[in-house]
Every structure is written in structure tokens, then in C-alpha cells.
Structure 1
Amino acid sequence: MIKISPAVKEIYPDAMFGIMTANMSNASASRSQMDTLKKVEIDRIKTKYKEYDRKAIINSEPICHYVTHYKKFKKTYPVLLQLESILLKDKGIPSVGISVEAMFLAEVKNLLLTGGHDLNQIGGYLTLDIAVGGENYLSISGKQQQLTKGDLYLSDDRGILSSVLNGPDYRTRITDTTQNVLYFVYGVDGITGEQIRKHLENIRYYLLTASPNVNIQTVEVF
């Protein structure tokens, strides 16, 4: 399903990744179930980090590995900012559809970077590669993004789907008509296969809780 460039293992020899696909075509989502689930999980997250200490968090597993990775590029790990928006600004996860909400909820719980894509908009084989710098794609915000040298990115035969530093693309974004979803977990050096498996299992659980008819298909950690 995915080809990994030799450059990935050369530059990031210990990095692991995960993929899960889900068919939503027969899924009937329960908004109340998802809202209840989000409240319960966010309350747990707030309890876990009741005494918020940014220095302590960024030095803890697994977020320390992402912080280290982003620091190399003079950037801040975006999932840390998402977590802080919940803890410090009392923001929640917006109601944008269960396939996206499940991913966001798992991200702030497990702190693993994850991209969501409309599988039907993906053309040909997936490739994971290292940017040489200057590659372009249209981001989910509709703006052109240029990749930084050394960035990890995912592409298909039509172009770039996402990158660690710049996030997902516009072409394969999940919409309210998406029937088949692909989740891709970027595990930088230090993130274990077990952490990725548990993360994907959380997404699976959230999806099935809100919509029992979701058909979970591919689950792979590599």
C-alpha cells in the first residue's frame, strides 16, 4: 500500500508509521454519542494535566520526540498547541464530522501526529519520502505550501498529501461526503510501534462508539 524511500530510513532510521482505513458509507453517526465521548475524554485529559507545566510535558513521553524533531526546524509541535488550547483556553474539539473529530481527540490524548485523508481522492500508490526542499502543494487552508529540506512527506501519483511540518493537503481533505478515510500516523524517531497501535485503536474505538456501522479495514504499523 505504501512505498518508503530509502532516504527515510537513512535519515530517520528508527521512525515508525501507521495506517488505518475506514469505510463510512453505511455509517450513521450519533452526534450525542460523539459529544458525550469528547466530553469524557477531554475531562480525563484536563485531570491528567491538572497542574499544567509546559516544561514537564515537553520532556515527557511521547511528546518529547516530536518537540525535538520540530526544534530542528525551529518550529513548535502543533499538537502541543492543540493540547494547550484545551488546557489553557478551555477550547474543545469542534463538531466537524466524526471521522475528523475521532482523529483530533486521539491526537490530544496520545500526542501522536496524525493526518486524515479522503481515500477516494488518492490516486495510485502512496510514497513516504524526504523533501529535498522546494516541493509545493496546496494546503488544507487553500494556500500554497513549500516543503523544507529534510521534512517527511506523504504523496501519491498526483502530488503531496501531507508533511510533518506543513500538515495535510486540500485535494484529499476529509469532507462531509467522504466515504472512505485514510489515517496516517507520523511517528518520528523515538515513537514506538506499540504507541502507534494504541493510538490507532483509540481512533477505531471513537469511530465505532459514535457510529457502530463504520467498517474498519486496513490497520498497519511499519
Structure 2
Amino acid sequence: MKNMIIFEKDIEKVYPGINMGILIVRGISERADCKKEDEATFLKELKKKYEGFTRKELKEQSPVDAYAAYYKKFGQSYHLLAQLDSMLKGKKICDSKSPLLQSMFFNELESMLLTAGHDLNKLKPPLRLNLAAGNEAYQSISGRDVTAAAGDIILSDSARVFSSILKGPDYNTRITSDTSDVLFIIYAPPGIGTPKVRTALKNLEKRIRAFAPDCKTEILQVLDAQTC
């Protein structure tokens, strides 16, 4: 599976030290009776973790600082920081009824590492990590037509671009109740070490196994330009 994702040559030049976490899990059943993670317990633990931090202080913490620096290049703010801030103020965390999507979102907030989930069976490997030219258009997960920002990190398969850091994942490969084989990607811009990414992948795997104990992990790996 070494060539599951190919890093194009300009990636490392523009973003030295960038890496990417990959988790592929097969055989997931999204039955209606799947037990979701307890939201109240998760919220309590998350509030405990970030208790006493101001938003400015959170922005200066790793790994948020690395994302803040990346998004600032494009005149934007790291959206997960705003979601975390809202959640800590008591707003509802996750409206999804899917334990798979809930697990991804909880794990994302816990680690603050940008994560995208895709239905593996709707992708056509090999996958390529590249720099956007600024004309790559696709349908976002909300169904809205978007165009990648020039210089942003994008991910494509042999048919199309299906994800980018700034615009998020696409609609065609989104996780649904029919998804049984899933690909999770953690985008880690420069400044985020491999250990943080690996820990987040393992925690996500653990969350999935809690409601789908018979699933099989095919890949759990952190990749960089040298290994790809």
C-alpha cells in the first residue's frame, strides 16, 4: 500500500514537513441500533481538557497554531477553532445520526487535527496530494459548487479532485449509511509532528471499533513526501 497516496514533487518544496495520516477500515455496519459515543461524557471531558483557555491561547497551542498559520496564508481562520469555541459555550456538537461521522467529528475536536472521511469504494486509486492551481472545481459535501484556492493542498483520485484543506471533502465520496469501507485522512501542515497524527488515528480506530467490533483495519499510517 506504499503508493496509496502519491505526494507530487512541489508539495515538499512549498510545505516542508507536511505529512498525512491515513486510516482505512473495512466491514463497518451502520445499523440503526449501533451505539453512538455518549455526547454528554465526551463534552465533559473536552471541557476539562480546555478549561481555562481563552480563544487566543487555544490558537497558540499545538496543533492549532500550525493550522492557524496555514489558513492565514489564504486570509482565513481555522474553522475547527470556532467550532470548539462554540461547543465549549454549550452549543450542540454533532447533529449526525451516524456513529461513523460522530466518531470522526469527536476525534477531530479532541485532537484538533483536520480530518476528512470518504467512502473508499467511491474512490479510484492511486490518490495524489498536490497543490491547487486555483481552477479545480468540485461539489462540496454540502452540495455547493466550490473551486479550490490556488496553493491550497488538494487530494484527487484518478478521476477528480475530491478534497482540499480549505474547501473540505466532496459530495460524491461522502460517508453515508451505506458506507462499509472508509478512508480517513488527517491533513497535517508543517509544524505538526508524526506522533500527534498517529495518536489521533489510533483513537479514531478505537472509537470505530467501539460500535463496529468486527471491522478490519487495513491501513493506519502517517505518510510524508519521503515515504511517498
TM-score normalised according to structure 2 size: 0.91
Q: Identity percentage over the alignment? A: 34
2:226 alignment counterpart: none
Work out whether residues 27 and 212 of structure 1, in 8 Å CA contact, stay in contact via their aligned partners in 2.
no
**Relative to structure 2, which stretch is displaced further, 114-123 or 43-52?**
43-52
Deviations 1:26-47 (A, max 9, x none): 5767544x232x3322211111
1:145 alignment counterpart: 146
Q: CA deviation at 1:147?
A: 0.9
1:12 alignment counterpart: 15
Work out whether residues 4 and 127 of structure 1, in 8 Å CA contact, stay in contact via their aligned partners in 2.
yes
2:124 alignment counterpart: 123
Q: Residue 156 of structure 2 aligns to a residue in which SS?
A: strand
**Relative to structure 2, which stretch is displaced further, 53-62 or 93-102?**
93-102
Which consecutive residues of structure 2, in runs of 5 or more, have no partner in the other structure? 224-228
Work out whether residues 27 and 214 of structure 1, in 8 Å CA contact, stay in contact via their aligned partners in 2.
no
- Where do residues 1-222 of structure 1 align in structure 2 (5 Å cutoff)? 1-25=4-28, 31-32=34-35, 34-36=36-38, 38-222=39-223
Deviations 1:114-145 (A, max 9, x none): 10000000013100000111211111111111
More helix by share: 1
What code does the residue aligned with 2:10 have?
Answer: A
Work out whether residues 30 and 99 of structure 2, in 8 Å CA contact, stay in contact via their aligned partners in 1.
no
Provide the C-alpha distance between the structure 1 equivalents of 2:142 and 2:9, rounded to a whole number of angstroms: 31
TM-score normalised according to structure 1 size: 0.94
Provide the C-alpha distance between the structure 2 equivalents of 1:146 and 1:27, rounded to a whole number of angstroms: 32
Q: CA deviation at 1:79?
A: 1.2
Number of positions where the alignment pairs a residue of Structure 1 with one of Structure 2: 220
Q: CA deviation at 1:170?
A: 0.6
Q: Residue 37 of structure 2 aligns to a residue in which SS?
A: helix
Which consecutive residues of structure 1, in runs of 5 or more, have no partner in the other structure? none
**Relative to structure 2, which stretch is displaced further, 111-120 or 75-84?**
75-84
Provide the C-alpha distance between the structure 2 equivalents of 1:97 and 1:26, rounded to a whole number of angstroms: 11
